[in-house]
Amino acid sequence: MANQMGLHVGCLLLVVAVALLKGAAADNYTVGDGLGWSIPPLGSVAYKTWADKKSFQIGDTIVFNWTGSHTVAEVSEANYGNCTKSNPLALYDSSPVPITLTSNLTRYFICTVDDHCSGLGQKVTIKIGGDGDRWWEGNSASSPTLNIAALLFCSAIAAFFLSF
Ligand SMILES: *[C@@H]1O[C@H](CO)[C@@H](O)[C@H](O)[C@H]1NC(C)=O
Ligand SMILES: *[C@@H]1O[C@H](CO)[C@@H](O)[C@H](O)[C@H]1NC(C)=O
Ligand SMILES: [Cu+2]
C-alpha cells in the first residue's frame, strides 16, 4: 500500500513539474555566463559556443554584464559581419544592459571600443525561436501531447506494480 501511495504521489509530482516547466516561459541569460561581456580569450568562438547552446525564446531576457571599458551596440547583420560601429540600431555604454527578446528576428551585438569587435571577437549573434533543446516547452501543439505521455507513463507503471 505504501508503495502504491508513493507511486501516485510521484506521478502527480511529475505531471505538476512538467506543467510548471512549460509555464516558465521567460528566462534570463547572462551573456557569456562567467566570462561576461569582455574580450573573449580565443576570439568570437566563445560567444558563438555560448549562444549555440541556448534556445532563446520570445520573452526571454539577455543581460550584458561587464567591468572595464566596453559597450553594447546592436547592429544590422551587414554591420555585424565587418564590425561597423557607425549607425548602430542602439548603443549602451553602462553595464548591466538587459535586452528583452520580443520577436523571432535574429539580433546582432558588438562592442564598439577600439578593435574589441574587429580584432578580438567581442560580438554575439542571438538567434531566437529555434526549436533548440527546450523540448518541454515545445509549441502549443506538442505540449498537451507531452502531458498525456507523462500520464500514460505513470499509468503504465502503476498498472505494472498493481498487477503483483
Ligand atoms: C561593411 O559592410 C557593409 C555592408 O556590406 C558595407 O556597407 C560597409 O561599407 C562595410 N564597412 C567596412 C568598414 O568595410
Ligand atoms: C517564433 O518561433 C517559434 C519556433 O519556431 C514559433 O513557435 C513561434 O510561433 C514564433 N513566434 C512568432 C511570433 O513568430
Ligand atoms: Cu569591448
Chain-centroid distance of CA 31 in Å reads 10
CA distances from 155 to 10, 136, 150, 159 (A): 11, 20, 9, 6
Q: What is the pLDDT of residue 163?
A: 65
The pLDDT tens digits for 86-135 are 999 999 999 999 999 999 999 999 999 999 999 999 999 999 997 654 44
Of the listed ligands, the closest to the CA of 101 is: 2
pTM attached to this predicted model: 0.72
Specify the ligand 1 atom closest to the Cα of 82: 1
Q: What is the pLDDT of residue 15?
A: 41
Task: Evaluate the CA torsion angle 68, 74, 79, 84 in order and state its sign.
Answer: negative
Cell of 45: 568562438
Could you tell me if 64 and 96 are in contact, meaning their C-beta atoms sit under 8 angstroms apart? yes
The pLDDT tens digits for 30-81 are 999 999 999 999 999 999 999 999 999 999 999 999 999 999 999 999 999 9
- Ligand 2, atom 4: closest residue by C-alpha: 129
State if residue 104 touches ligand 2 by the CB under 6 angstroms criterion. yes
Q: Tell me, what DSSP letter sits at residue 113?
A: S
Residue 16 has pLDDT above 60, yes or no: no
The kind and range of the H/E element at 63 are: strand 61-64
Q: What is the pLDDT of residue 4?
A: 59
